[in-house]
Amino acid sequence: MSRLKQPAVGTYLRAARVEALLTPAEAARRAAMPEALLHTIEAGGAPPTVLDASILLRLYGKDPKNLLAFQEDERPQAQPPRSAFGRLMREGRKAKSLSPEALAHEIGEAPDRVRSWESGARLPPAYQLALIVRVLGLDPAATLAAILNPNGAQP
Protein backbone atom coordinates (compact mmCIF):
# COMPACT_ATOMS: atom_id res chain seq x y z
CA MET A 1 0.00 0.00 0.00
CA SER A 2 1.45 3.35 -1.03
CA ARG A 3 1.92 5.94 1.71
CA LEU A 4 2.58 9.65 1.61
CA LYS A 5 5.70 10.35 3.63
CA GLN A 6 5.49 14.11 4.00
CA PRO A 7 4.24 15.21 7.45
CA ALA A 8 2.80 18.38 5.86
CA VAL A 9 0.03 16.22 4.36
CA GLY A 10 -1.52 15.85 7.82
CA THR A 11 -1.51 19.61 8.35
CA TYR A 12 -3.07 20.13 4.93
CA LEU A 13 -5.75 17.50 5.58
CA ARG A 14 -6.64 19.02 8.94
CA ALA A 15 -6.90 22.52 7.46
CA ALA A 16 -9.10 21.15 4.65
CA ARG A 17 -11.34 19.39 7.21
CA VAL A 18 -11.72 22.55 9.28
CA GLU A 19 -12.46 24.56 6.13
CA ALA A 20 -15.15 21.98 5.24
CA LEU A 21 -16.64 22.60 8.73
CA LEU A 22 -16.41 18.94 9.72
CA THR A 23 -15.53 17.65 13.16
CA PRO A 24 -12.95 14.86 13.37
CA ALA A 25 -15.70 12.46 14.42
CA GLU A 26 -17.92 13.34 11.45
CA ALA A 27 -15.05 13.23 8.95
CA ALA A 28 -13.87 9.85 10.25
CA ARG A 29 -17.40 8.45 10.13
CA ARG A 30 -17.96 9.65 6.55
CA ALA A 31 -14.54 8.36 5.47
CA ALA A 32 -15.17 5.01 7.20
CA MET A 33 -11.97 5.20 9.24
CA PRO A 34 -11.31 5.16 12.98
CA GLU A 35 -11.30 8.67 14.47
CA ALA A 36 -8.01 7.87 16.23
CA LEU A 37 -6.40 7.21 12.84
CA LEU A 38 -7.64 10.55 11.52
CA HIS A 39 -6.16 12.33 14.55
CA THR A 40 -2.84 10.51 14.07
CA ILE A 41 -2.69 11.42 10.37
CA GLU A 42 -3.56 15.08 11.01
CA ALA A 43 -0.95 15.32 13.76
CA GLY A 44 1.72 13.92 11.43
CA GLY A 45 2.12 10.80 13.56
CA ALA A 46 1.48 8.44 10.68
CA PRO A 47 1.54 9.04 6.96
CA PRO A 48 -1.82 8.42 5.29
CA THR A 49 -2.16 5.95 2.49
CA VAL A 50 -2.75 7.56 -0.89
CA LEU A 51 -6.24 6.02 -0.83
CA ASP A 52 -7.05 7.47 2.63
CA ALA A 53 -5.76 10.91 1.64
CA SER A 54 -7.76 10.82 -1.60
CA ILE A 55 -10.95 9.82 0.22
CA LEU A 56 -10.48 12.62 2.76
CA LEU A 57 -9.72 15.23 0.10
CA ARG A 58 -12.85 14.31 -1.87
CA LEU A 59 -14.88 14.45 1.35
CA TYR A 60 -13.50 17.94 2.05
CA GLY A 61 -14.29 19.12 -1.48
CA LYS A 62 -10.63 19.27 -2.55
CA ASP A 63 -9.07 17.82 -5.68
CA PRO A 64 -7.00 14.71 -4.84
CA LYS A 65 -4.49 15.96 -7.42
CA ASN A 66 -3.44 18.39 -4.68
CA LEU A 67 -1.43 15.48 -3.27
CA LEU A 68 1.04 16.02 -6.10
CA ALA A 69 2.09 19.26 -4.40
CA PHE A 70 3.62 17.27 -1.55
CA GLN A 71 7.00 16.54 -3.05
CA GLU A 72 10.04 16.22 -0.81
CA ASP A 73 11.51 19.56 -1.90
CA GLU A 74 8.25 21.53 -2.05
CA ARG A 75 6.47 21.21 1.26
CA PRO A 76 3.86 23.90 1.82
CA GLN A 77 4.44 26.02 4.89
CA ALA A 78 0.87 25.95 6.12
CA GLN A 79 0.07 27.51 9.45
CA PRO A 80 -2.39 25.36 11.42
CA PRO A 81 -5.70 27.09 12.19
CA ARG A 82 -5.10 26.71 15.91
CA SER A 83 -1.83 28.68 15.66
CA ALA A 84 -3.50 31.54 13.82
CA PHE A 85 -6.28 31.66 16.37
CA GLY A 86 -3.83 31.39 19.27
CA ARG A 87 -1.89 34.38 17.99
CA LEU A 88 -5.10 36.40 17.54
CA MET A 89 -6.28 35.42 21.03
CA ARG A 90 -2.95 36.32 22.66
CA GLU A 91 -2.86 39.71 20.89
CA GLY A 92 -6.45 40.43 21.97
CA ARG A 93 -5.74 39.44 25.55
CA LYS A 94 -2.65 41.64 25.72
CA ALA A 95 -4.54 44.56 24.15
CA LYS A 96 -7.03 44.26 27.02
CA SER A 97 -4.12 44.01 29.51
CA LEU A 98 -5.35 40.65 30.77
CA SER A 99 -3.16 37.87 32.06
CA PRO A 100 -3.98 34.30 30.99
CA GLU A 101 -5.29 33.77 34.52
CA ALA A 102 -7.57 36.83 34.34
CA LEU A 103 -8.96 35.76 30.97
CA ALA A 104 -9.50 32.24 32.28
CA HIS A 105 -11.47 33.67 35.20
CA GLU A 106 -13.56 35.85 32.85
CA ILE A 107 -14.59 32.89 30.70
CA GLY A 108 -14.82 30.33 33.53
CA GLU A 109 -11.99 28.15 32.29
CA ALA A 110 -8.70 26.83 33.69
CA PRO A 111 -5.62 29.00 32.99
CA ASP A 112 -3.80 25.98 31.53
CA ARG A 113 -6.52 25.60 28.94
CA VAL A 114 -6.23 29.28 27.97
CA ARG A 115 -2.47 28.83 27.58
CA SER A 116 -2.97 25.73 25.41
CA TRP A 117 -5.30 27.69 23.11
CA GLU A 118 -2.86 30.58 22.87
CA SER A 119 0.07 28.27 22.18
CA GLY A 120 -1.80 26.68 19.30
CA ALA A 121 -1.91 23.26 20.94
CA ARG A 122 -5.68 23.14 20.42
CA LEU A 123 -8.74 25.17 19.47
CA PRO A 124 -11.40 26.00 22.04
CA PRO A 125 -14.87 24.53 21.67
CA ALA A 126 -17.40 26.75 19.86
CA TYR A 127 -19.13 27.96 23.02
CA GLN A 128 -15.78 29.06 24.51
CA LEU A 129 -14.73 30.62 21.23
CA ALA A 130 -17.83 32.82 21.24
CA LEU A 131 -17.12 33.84 24.84
CA ILE A 132 -13.47 34.63 24.09
CA VAL A 133 -14.46 36.77 21.10
CA ARG A 134 -16.94 38.71 23.26
CA VAL A 135 -14.63 39.18 26.27
CA LEU A 136 -11.65 40.25 24.17
CA GLY A 137 -13.74 42.40 21.84
CA LEU A 138 -12.49 40.54 18.77
CA ASP A 139 -14.19 40.87 15.41
CA PRO A 140 -16.14 37.60 14.99
CA ALA A 141 -15.70 37.56 11.20
CA ALA A 142 -11.95 38.19 11.42
CA THR A 143 -11.61 35.51 14.09
CA LEU A 144 -13.44 32.95 11.98
CA ALA A 145 -11.38 33.95 8.93
CA ALA A 146 -8.17 33.42 10.93
CA ILE A 147 -9.32 29.90 11.80
CA LEU A 148 -10.57 28.97 8.34
CA ASN A 149 -7.77 30.70 6.38
CA PRO A 150 -4.79 30.68 8.76
CA ASN A 151 -2.36 31.69 6.02
CA GLY A 152 -4.40 34.70 5.00
CA ALA A 153 -5.34 33.28 1.59
CA GLN A 154 -8.55 34.55 0.10
CA PRO A 155 -11.17 31.83 -0.42
DSSP per-residue string spanning 64-118: GGGGGG--TT----PPPHHHHHHHHHHHHHHHTT--HHHHHHHHT--HHHHHHHH
| Residue 135 and residue 113 in one domain | yes
Picking from 69, 89, 107, the residue at the C-terminal end of a domain is: 69
Contacts of 95 (CB under 8 A, 6+ apart): 136
Q: What is the pLDDT of residue 21?
A: 92
| Residue 105 and residue 54 in one domain | no
| Residue 55 and residue 100 in one domain | no
Q: What is the mean pLDDT of the chain?
A: 80
Q: Is 57 helix (H, G, I), strand (E, B) or coil?
A: helix
| Structural domain for 112, as ranges | 81-148
Indicate the pLDDT class of residue 76, thresholds 50, 70 and 90.
Answer: very low
Instruction: Report the range of poorest mean pLDDT among 2-11, 36-45, 129-138.
Output: 2-11
Q: What is the pLDDT of residue 145?
A: 77
pTM: 0.48
| Residue 32 and residue 85 in one domain | no
The pLDDT tens digits of the residues spanning 8-58 come to 778 888 888 988 899 999 999 999 999 999 988 888 777 787 778 888 988
| Residue 62 and residue 85 in one domain | no
* Residue percentage of the chain with pLDDT more than 90: 32
Phi, psi of 49 (to 5 degrees): -70, 160
CATH number at residue 58: 1.10.260.40
Decide: 129 and 123 in contact? Cβ < 8 Å: yes
95 within a domain of the structure (yes/no): yes
- The residue type of 154 is Q
The secondary structure element, H or E, covering residue 51 is: helix 50-59
CA 81 to chain centre: 4
* Residue closest to 25 by CA, chosen among 35, 39, 40, 36: 35
Picking from 18, 34, 69, the residue at the C-terminal end of a domain is: 69
60 within a domain of the structure (yes/no): yes
| Residue 59 and residue 87 in one domain | no
The pLDDT tens digits of the residues spanning 85-103 come to 888 899 999 999 999 999 9
